[in-house]
Chain A
Amino acid sequence: MTAPLLQVDKLRKFFPIHGGVLRRVVNNVKAVDDISFEIGAGEVVGLVGESGSGKTTVGRTILRLETATSGAVRFQGADVMAMGTQELRRYRKKMQIIFQDPYASLNPREKVREVLTHPLRLHKIGTPSEQEDRAASLLEKVGLSRDHLDRFPHEFSGGQRQRIGIARALAVEPDFIVADEPVSALDVSIQAQVINLLEDLKNDLDLTMLFIAHDLGVVEHICDRVIVMYLGRVMEIATAADLYARPNHPYTQALLSAVPIPEPGRRRSRIVLKGDIPSPINPPSGCVFRTRCPKATEECAKIVPELRKIGEGHLSACIHTT
């Protein structure tokens, strides 16, 4: 791999909880706690985890939609956290986000024309007529047509709206896209269309993408590599094929075994985890997964496991694995 496009180094994001009469910080939600990873140019990396794992916060912090508590994010070598307003604007042009909810992420009063030319006007790209042409060609790229320019978001179905969201993200020709659960709100038959579209765009435009999702089947299908998060920490990183064939971390194993297989009578031997995900305000000491882990020992409460290399490009954070 050449120099990575994006480097995340010991990233932390805590949300303070204020309490008492003085509204002092009484505690923190440790949404993201000391995570590091890299994404190479042209790579699609999946970020999976259940609710409260911090996966969405990671995406938002990389884009500086949230301010990191500590740690560094470097994009093409530049320190994103240290950027001033001017520099940040240039950087934002290179990075875009696709949201989960195609209903909430489009302004209902804006026609598709405005939605798509907005980022171009913001970044002062092209003349008005060039912007319009660009908007039309973007629509065609995502499987809609020029005729849709004068329509409002409510005139589209959920799948079509998500296509518009994708077109908007592509408008400024970004180098990197954070896709936050881009297909979770869609029906199965429509989901497949949008996944295929994202794959085509990735190949045609050589996109680099951080694909945040909870659906492991979707992630495996679309991603080159996968990062598994639990309660603000990274449990395991591996290539998609490796992760699904040889999951190492007990959490990854349980997570994969919990996915129902669409083949009757072929139930995989399932590891059913006990209890709920603990609160990120008071995460367990040591390994955050130990309270639900079938392999936990006393040691696990004492040591925060490091991500260790267990194979080529395969990292796992468990003191019990080799």
Chain B
Amino acid sequence: MPISLTPNAITAIKAGDVNLKPLLQVLDIKLIGKSQERSKDRYRLLISDGISAQYAMLAVQLNDRVKSAQVEKGSIVQLIDYICSDVKGRNLIVVLNMETIVPHSETIGNPTMSADSDTKAQNPLSDLGSISPTNRFVFNEPSIQHFVNKAPSGGVNIQNPVNNTPTFRPSVQPSYQPPPSYRNHGPIMKNEAPARIIPIAALNPYQGRWAIKARVTAKGDIRRYNNAKGDGKVFSFDLLDSDGGEIRITCFNVVVDRFYDVIDVGKVYLISKGSLKPAQKNFNHLKNEWEIFLESTSTVELCPDEDGSIPRQQFSFRPISDIENAENNTILDIIGVVTSVNPSVPILRKNGMETHRRILNLKDESGKAVEVTLWGEFCNRDGRQLEELVESAFFPVLAIKAGKVSDFSGKSVGTISSTQLFINPDFPEAHILRNWFDHGGKDTASSSISRDNMPGGGSRNEIRKTVSQIKEEGLGRSDKPDWVTVKATISFIKTDSFCYTACPLMIGDKQCNKKVTQTGTNMWLCDRCNQESEECDYRYLLQVQIQDHTGLAWVTAFQESGEEIMGCPAKQLYSLKYELQNDEEFAEIVRNRLFHQYMLKLKIKEESYADEQRVKMTVVKVDMVNYISESKYLLNSLVRSL
């Protein structure tokens, strides 16, 4: 049975119809804009409805159809998703999705290039009657619905091409006949009517005019940058529309000033004009291959009436058990019950800036628990609220939008700048979780997927070594110092010189502490400050022998750790020994400080003194042994080695 093309389809498409799903014949395929990168190839089709023919661009994701010869010259195809936009007075059809109905056919009819003046007689609609349903054709399925957007401007909402592609089967439906008033007569006028609202998922760089209606789900801070072109500032925000399409909008420089204060998280905006650029996937984790750059001509209008059809936020929650196999740096959404919150601690970043970090534990129904690291502002704002809730024995549900997976030790999830936290949110998922937790989930043991190599006790960065391992493993010989913790006993303290005279002057908000030398009558001179002081400070410079079951080593302890080891200020010991000359009491104090066991954090670095390489070990922190956590540590090492 011969196939009939959908009559007058070209005219209808050019008039703006996007629901027609016409059958058309491909008369020609041309590769244009061939570039080095295959992915940037573009194909231009000449499509015909049997009477008129028109050029159409093929969306990049359909390039394979041409490459694999599913679509050839002569193929009869059904357009499923397409857009016709007005580019500089010319109609440009972009085919977003289509199906091949007949792989090859003779040219049907006698099509002529479509002109803007519409002089061709229109075939009667009854032509459609000649298409009878065969196995190949499925009449309009119920799942394929055409719905009209509730937007005030009354635009027509087209299908979401991304979601529907895999399940689409060809369908034929009664043709749309454009009302006569849509036909173009006379010269082309600039279309002054508001642009049609289209779903975010249908946005592409080949549309001239578009508008989207979407809710702001996240808004970034203004960031300043400096590159080859000079200084600049940038901010971005994320949008979500009623079809679940999401996209990021980025503004630079003057555009920042224009829109930064207009944008509020949670509100709905009508946005039009702007250029689409490929999304920068390393910064932008949204499910969209494009992002929008607003320009000074762009319009951003607040929609005052609340549109309930646009969700406030879109999550795709993954169970914690999934994170175990997620790759490092994956961005994902999780929801769980907070079972513990650690205090916020200051952390020195690699660039020397101080930030805050707070670790909490989250568990869910998957039977797994994970550590969540809050950074910076999250520690105070949300972290404190969570801490208070957990302390009052109310374990809150926490939803995390866009957390980043880290595989630093085990798997954990950390916040990034675009992360959003929702405490006890009003989602169905949260209610299910709360119900699970309150009815048994609270008491079920969850195995943590974090800190795999960090059993019991000790802080996250602690590397435990024995004294002999320091030498055996050649610690301190690399470019950077090694930081390790040893559990060791102090076996000897050098007392002939245990402190030095330090400069008490302040440099900024810090004491100078450089060594001062006595000048004449009780005045102390600092070379650094180039000043004399009447008094000097005494600070520890202590040589200590430490010992564990594997061996012994000499370490140096400065002021704070020295005071910890000696149990009194250096000045007190100095005056006892040199001013009061009470050697007996001095010896007694020192003797009492021996044979105590400590957790010593050491900085180990090889240094050269007069062409001689020496590994220098400095005590940076002295802690009493915590027997509970130490027992846990030992038990864990025991169990692991069994």
- Asked if A pairs with B, the answer is no
- B interface, CB within 8 angstroms of A: none
- A interface, CB within 8 angstroms of B: none
